[in-house]
Amino acid sequence: MELMFDSSSVMEQDNSFAPIPAGTYPVIVDASEFRDTKAGDGRYLHLELSIVDGPSKGRKIFDNLNLENKNPTAVDIAQRQLASLVRACGKVKISDSAELHNTPVSATLAIRKGTNGYDDSNDVKSYAKLHDDQANIAAIASGTPKDDIPF
């Protein structure tokens, strides 16, 4: 089979797993699910997010919220983090984590130093509502019509 292909007109794929620089990014939640902790004594909400604009557009970020854990401090932190995400999505109450999907929000990222043989990675430190101009850009980038964004 003949193939006429010129790679000079195609950007190289970024296969880097290096952390995204610390900062604030427009993101959407692509997927979410409850998972059991390794110890089997709790559950956490696993969130998969995508950056929707800027130089890191398309990169994935993950956030794990320990909503059921024997450590009450971990649960408190997770509840506050989830509350900020819910509010950033323009909601007060949700009954399913899918209600958070595809709504552009702002996520502030930090870099967590790797330990025990693991590389450095990103941590989501906070979520916030996007400003109107950011929301317009993120809506266009994510393919969500501005009128469908709940803020």
**What distance in Å separates the CA atoms of residue 36 and residue 49, rounded to the nearest whole number?**
20
Tokens of 52: 């929707």
Q: Which of 10-19, 80-89, 99-108 has the lowest mean pLDDT?
A: 10-19
Domain-by-domain residue ranges, the chain?
27-144
Q: Give the position of tokens 């980038």.
A: 141
Q: Are 64 and 46 in contact (CB under 8 A)?
A: yes
Q: Extract the runs of DSSP E, i.e. beta strands, from the chain.
A: 23-36, 43-51, 60-68, 105-112, 121-128
pTM (2 d.p.): 0.78
pLDDT tens column, 20-39: 999 999 999 999 999 999 99
Residue-averaged pLDDT of the chain: 87
Fold of 27-144: OB fold (Dihydrolipoamide Acetyltransferase, E2P) (2.40.50)
pLDDT tens column, 97-146: 999 999 999 999 999 999 999 999 999 999 999 976 555 555 555 565 54
